[in-house]
Amino acid sequence: MEIKAGWLSDVRQVPVSRFGKRPASTEISLIVIHCIALPPHKYGGHFVDDLFLGCLDPNAHPYFKDVAPLEVSTHLFINRQGKITQYVSFLDRAWHAGRSSYNDHKECNDYSIGIELEGSDDSEYTIEQYTSLKEVVTLLKKTYPAIGNNIAGHNEVAPTRKTDPGRYFDWSWIR
């Protein structure tokens, strides 16, 4: 696996329109770890793609009525089998962290890479996910050296409103 023009090679690519340009002269210096399952605690299927593509059917599940209108995206999604999907180029700003701050630097989307793991705050992740995550984090840190050890959970950059990746996430795999 390698990064070419902001895109990972050898992974599933589903480019979305929900992203923006990073502010000029912004250095990528943070990775934010998230979790997602649509509907909650249900894994597999096309609903995560649909959310990021902006075509999630609000009538397909009661939970979707609240999340379907959200304009969100992420750079990467790692499913339970460890398969990686990329939605947004690393060179662009995905809409994953919302109002956020890391080390007193606001608006994390401007300078971070978002990685969603298929899962829930209250369940364990798979070895396959950790293996893929470790591989991609190693590559990202090599490609964007300003990241250094700046890897945070969504709960750390938006602590008053987010809890993911949750208490079962094993930070020892990547920190």
The pLDDT of residue 175 = 83
The whole-model pTM stands at 0.97
Give how far Cα 102 sits from Cα of 22, 32, 138, 162, 165, Å.
Answer: 17, 10, 20, 14, 16
Tell me how far apart the alpha carbons of residues 57 and 131 are, in angstroms, rounded to a whole number. Answer: 32
CATH of the domain at 102: 3.40.80.10
Neighbours of 129 (CB within 10 A): 23
Please indicate whether residue 156 is annotated as part of the active site. no
Range of the domain at 95: 3-173
Query: What pLDDT, on the 0 to 100 scale, is given for residue 96?
Result: 98
Among 27, 116, 128, 156, the active-site one is 116
**16-51 pLDDT tens trace:** 999 999 999 999 999 999 999 999 999 999 999 999
- Look at the chain and report how many structural domains it folds into: 1
